[in-house]
Structure 1
Amino acid sequence: MLQKQARALPVEVGSPQAAAHARAVDSDRALHATLAPLTGGLSPTALSQAYADWLAHLFWSPARQRELAHDALQRASRVTEAGLFPTSPWSLIAPQPQDRRFSAPEWQQAPFNLMAQGFLLAEEWWHNATTGNRGVSRQNEKIVEFATRQMLDVFAPSNFPWTNPEVIRRTLASGGGNVTAGLHNWWEDLLHTVSHDPEPNPDFKVGRDVAVTPGKVVYSNHLIELIQYAPATAEVRPEPVLIVPAWIMKYYILDLSPHNSLVKYLTEQGFTVFMVSWRNPTERERDVSLEDYRRLGVMAALDAVGAIVPGQRIHTAGYCLGGTLLSIAAAAMSRDGDERLKSITLFAAQTDFTEAGELTLFINESQVAFLEDMMWKRGVLDTSQMAGAFQILRSNDLIWSRMVRDYLMGERSPPNDLMAWNADATRMPYRMHSEYLRKLFLDNDLAGGHYMVDDKPIALSDIHTPMFVVGTLRDHVAPWRSTYKIHLLADAEITFCLTGGGHNAGIVSPPSPTAHGYQVMVKEADGPYVGPDVWLAEAPHAEGSWWTEWVNWLGVRSGAPVSPPQMGLPGATVAALPDAPGSYVLQT
């Protein structure tokens, strides 16, 4: 007689078993939160699973092992032969164009050239060893390749004073002065790290040197301050421009110094500009949701702008995560018949997260759960954790090259407004960030038509408003091919503009002789889809800044100039309104 399989009984809410289970879960979450600083916020389980997948498949592939072993011996033989019989520099392997670690002339001299080539050959071998193994899941392969590359970068000969010819030359020339200066820089940074204070930027104070375009805070709630900027021309276009920046950054990335402020440029071109300034959340905002950001952010700002400039449709622009949120709001508005939007502009913003770059390498269930536990203890994702995540994507540029310059060469980069802004970091609420990672990165609900607003799904295909979408060539946060996917989702006329630079410098690109240049092409609402590679080959090039292209695009979709609107909501006393940049941007 077959024995019936035992079935687990449900745990009754409020029972001793439920209380014990809750205590166990909380204890484990506390452990994970304690481990997080030691692992840089990476889930040890996710990393070990990826390496286990790779090693297991490599173990059962003896022919592949022999191939890799033979390749390693050949590379070692080439390095040995080059050491015994020197040839021209970089005869074995040359650095990639984006790898600037060995660009100085000193690296072409022996024995440093041989050291660099040996390292690059080893780096290439490990890339080959961690990729192209049959059976390894694509996600795990990318994790192993990325993590291995990060570990190898630690041992680059450029990182050590006795194997870096630039450091040796500087030490001899300065009589060791660079060592003293480097120790001073290291001690200064250590004190800032231990005290958890942001790096001082005395040359760039918010409201004095950056974020100085004249304006007033015309509306505020618990999550935003809305800034209305003063007109810079006698007449303005009747349609206002509302900008929604990401809350992962301070808004003044778009209002830096006067020479590179997008806000100032827009007002000088005759536009009335409004800007959302987000609160820097603390533990008190731990339960603020992504829906709260839509409702209290985008929708509240639209209501306020509509009250100040009544009867006019609104040009909207969203940057990074702000652009994603604007797309969510626009899809919900289109679904509900809300026609207040005149145009939608997205700056380096993603709506489909299937190809969101290296930032998604560790976005799986294990990693998200680990991050949730890390945030659960403090109620927010801290600024240092946010900065670390972005730095590791460009470790050669943002970590190792800086350490060489600051600590080995004894130099400091001259301060600039973009660096000052980058150091002025923000936090992310626990609930919002969890929803963002799960609904957008992990499940891709927005692109799949599963994202819910007011208990009903939204679809980006409901958007018929003209769109101007900006991607940047070297974007590690929102790769341009990912932002390009809006072509597959929105049923609208889309003007796609691809500019040089990265996620920040590509957007902050004012008209100047050194502007990056750009490509731009329009897809009509009913036009055929063109893939990104074909687009890249066919889109015409233009010199200068994409800002001029965007302003012309806005101008074509705007009415004839009129007198500027009032400052503030009806009945407001201008003198009583707080001056820009407001108080939320000053929160640390």
Structure 2
Amino acid sequence: MVGVVPEARHSAAAPGAAGAPASDPELSRLNFAGRLLLEAASPANFLQTNPELLNRTAAESGQNLIRGLKHWLEDAQRAVSGARPAGSEQFEVGKEVAVTPGKVVFRNRLIELLQYAPQTPEVYAEPVLITPAWIMKYYILDLSPRNSLVRYLVEKGHTVFMISWKNPGAADRELGMDDYLQLGFFDALAQVRRLVPQRQVHAVGYCIGGTLLAIAAAALAQAGDVPFASLTLLAAQTDFSEPGELSVFITPSQIAMLEAMMEKSGVLESERMGAAFALLRSRDLLWKPAVDQYMRGERPKLNDLMAWNADGTRMPRRMHSEYLERLYLKNELARGEFTVRGERIDLSCLRAPLFVVGTETDHVAPWRSVYKVRDLTRSADYTFLLTSGGHNAGIVSGPLHPRRRHRMLTWSNATARLSYSLRPWMWPKSGPRNSGSMP
């Protein structure tokens, strides 16, 4: 409880700042800076003002601090050498995570397309195409077997395709949003339709992969092409008018600073983005781990999600600048001003059934922002699922997770659901099962 009361008082007082609306950007930045200062100055972060640490140090004759110093030196060495955090080596890709059997069926300069065959005698005719965010490694949805959406789907008889984005380098600096649409989603969809012809596709997009999916689906609909049996958006924004705390990092001056930084390297390094995300939850992601490891002398036990989170990717200069300016700052997609191949994108053209998932404590894509796609489309079949957890843990949440809860809202009715609702929603829309395996 040390340090909690001042932070609680700050949270209670900040929204009531005289003369400033709660949505005022300057107030949001001031509130954020104040919270960061309070969390950094918390008595819990210092040996002299943390009774529990003092008692432990006395009981262990300072051995906890010696272990902590060793941990700090190891972490510093890893940081300098570019190695991943301690413990992440226990989750090697292809051995402990990303172990669902699959194969690469297509590649170009930007993506690899992975195909996972169903593991049942009878299979659903319509395939599933998953588009993860390009700021994350694809296996976020194929972690260890108990935490793998891909494994869950193939065990239920679905053929699954997954886009794996290339980790860009300096030579990719001029890849933009149009390239990510064409070389990424459109090329992947074309291959899925080639391998599973004459079938509609269940398309799933996670985070900005979901934003890309919505843009692509609207562009296809405007051209008279309707390839989707359903669209699933996982923690994905289409209206950025309420972007949440992440907006404190997205201002014209901040973008100009990022562009100057990326001009030399051609990319935004993953550490920059990771640091911004960590600041959004500095008490949990910065200060508490530091106290545990360097003062208590205890290494955290990494899980598959934590190991994945340490495996970051870079972003091309042009794409990242376009994404921040056009979607976050100007909100072009929600305003109907976003263009693809010179044509404006109108999300109201979307007619496919929509399944949208938001998470209660998402600092990256707040659920109220995620929900707004309802007002931008004309889908007559709209389901919104609000789940506990944050941007990653709330999505990577299997049917047997003991501490997860879900609430589901449909177009015409709101009901409470405590079950894992993605699969039951997909069943009636997947068509009949057929004997044998897909290509």
Task: Tell whether the structures are fold-level matches, with TM greater than 0.5.
Answer: yes
State the partner residue of 2:152: 265
Aligned length: 436
Residue 369 (structure 2) pairs with residue 494 (structure 1)? no
Distance in 2 separating the partners of 1:397 and 1:125: 17
Distance in 2 separating the partners of 1:179 and 1:387: 27
Letter in 2 for 1:134: G
Gaps of 5+ in 2: none
Tell me the C-alpha RMSD between the 2 structures.
1.8
Residue 32 (structure 2) pairs with residue 146 (structure 1)? yes
Distance in 2 separating the partners of 1:558 and 1:130: 46
Asked if the contact 2:117/2:437 (under 8 Å) is kept, the reply is: no
Match of 1:228, SS?
strand
Gaps of 5+ in 1: 1-101, 108-115, 525-537, 568-588
Distance in 2 separating the partners of 1:517 and 1:176: 42
Match of 2:89, SS?
coil
Distance in 1 separating the partners of 2:10 and 2:369: 29
Match of 1:512 among 367, 375, 400: 400
Q: Evaluate the alpha carbon distance shift between residue 515 and residue 234 of structure 1 in structure 2; reply closer, same or farther with a 3 A threshold.
A: farther
Matches within 5 A, 1:112-123: 116=3, 120-121=5-6
- Deviations, residues 298-331 of structure 1 (Å, cap 9, x unaligned): 1111100001101100000000010000000011
Residue 209 (structure 2) pairs with residue 322 (structure 1)? yes
State the partner residue of 2:119: 232
State the partner residue of 1:171: 57
Distance in 1 separating the partners of 2:20 and 2:143: 49
Asked if the contact 2:121/2:437 (under 8 Å) is kept, the reply is: no
Distance in 1 separating the partners of 2:415 and 2:356: 16
Deviation at 1:256, TM superposition (A): 0.3
Deviation at 1:566, TM superposition (A): 4.5
Q: Evaluate the alpha carbon distance shift between residue 544 and residue 463 of structure 1 in structure 2; reply closer, same or farther with a 3 A threshold.
A: same
Match of 2:322 among 427, 435, 440: 435
Match of 1:361 among 248, 263, 274: 248
Q: Evaluate the alpha carbon distance shift between residue 304 and residue 132 of structure 1 in structure 2; reply closer, same or farther with a 3 A threshold.
A: same
Q: Evaluate the alpha carbon distance shift between residue 122 and residue 349 of structure 1 in structure 2; reply closer, same or farther with a 3 A threshold.
A: closer
Distance in 1 separating the partners of 2:183 and 2:436: 26
State the partner residue of 1:421: 308
Distance in 1 separating the partners of 2:11 and 2:118: 57
Match of 2:204, SS?
strand
Deviation at 1:362, TM superposition (A): 3.0
Deviation at 1:199, TM superposition (A): 2.2
Deviation at 1:131, TM superposition (A): 5.4
Distance in 1 separating the partners of 2:435 and 2:186: 26
Deviation at 1:559, TM superposition (A): 1.4
Distance in 1 separating the partners of 2:401 and 2:298: 28
Asked if the contact 2:230/2:353 (under 8 Å) is kept, the reply is: yes
Q: Evaluate the alpha carbon distance shift between residue 135 and residue 309 of structure 1 in structure 2; reply closer, same or farther with a 3 A threshold.
A: closer
Letter in 1 for 2:48: W
State the partner residue of 2:430: 558
Residue 426 (structure 2) pairs with residue 540 (structure 1)? no
Deviation at 1:565, TM superposition (A): 4.7
Asked if the contact 1:179/1:408 (under 8 Å) is kept, the reply is: yes
Higher percent of residues as strand: 2
Deviation at 1:122, TM superposition (A): 7.7
Overall identity of the aligned pairs, in % = 50
Structure with greater Cα Rg: 1
Distance in 1 separating the partners of 2:7 and 2:243: 28
Give the structure-1-normalised TM-score. Answer: 0.72
State the partner residue of 1:47: none
Letter in 2 for 1:543: L
Asked if the contact 2:203/2:232 (under 8 Å) is kept, the reply is: yes
Match of 1:277, SS?
strand
State the partner residue of 1:191: 77
Asked if the contact 1:462/1:491 (under 8 Å) is kept, the reply is: yes
Distance in 2 separating the partners of 1:342 and 1:389: 36
Letter in 2 for 1:554: M
Deviation at 1:372, TM superposition (A): 1.1
- Deviations, residues 55-104 of structure 1 (Å, cap 9, x unaligned): xxxxxxxxxxxxxxxxxxxxxxxxxxxxxxxxxxxxxxxxxxxxxxx2xx
Give the structure-2-normalised TM-score. Answer: 0.96
Q: Evaluate the alpha carbon distance shift between residue 148 and residue 127 of structure 1 in structure 2; reply closer, same or farther with a 3 A threshold.
A: farther
Deviation at 1:551, TM superposition (A): 1.4
Asked if the contact 2:117/2:438 (under 8 Å) is kept, the reply is: no
State the partner residue of 2:17: 132
Match of 1:344, SS?
strand
Deviation at 1:133, TM superposition (A): 3.1
Distance in 2 separating the partners of 1:487 and 1:122: 35
Match of 2:396, SS?
coil
Letter in 1 for 2:42: A
Distance in 2 separating the partners of 1:218 and 1:413: 38
Match of 1:236, SS?
strand
Distance in 2 separating the partners of 1:498 and 1:516: 11
Deviation at 1:515, TM superposition (A): 4.5
State the partner residue of 1:215: 102
- Deviations, residues 498-529 of structure 1 (Å, cap 9, x unaligned): 111111111111111504121112116xxxxx
State the partner residue of 2:335: 448
Deviation at 1:378, TM superposition (A): 1.0
Match of 1:395 among 276, 282, 303: 282
Q: Evaluate the alpha carbon distance shift between residue 130 and residue 555 of structure 1 in structure 2; reply closer, same or farther with a 3 A threshold.
A: closer
Q: Evaluate the alpha carbon distance shift between residue 129 and residue 522 of structure 1 in structure 2; reply closer, same or farther with a 3 A threshold.
A: closer
Asked if the contact 1:515/1:544 (under 8 Å) is kept, the reply is: no
Match of 1:311, SS?
coil
Match of 1:514, SS?
coil
Q: Evaluate the alpha carbon distance shift between residue 399 and residue 135 of structure 1 in structure 2; reply closer, same or farther with a 3 A threshold.
A: closer
State the partner residue of 1:64: none
Asked if the contact 1:472/1:502 (under 8 Å) is kept, the reply is: yes
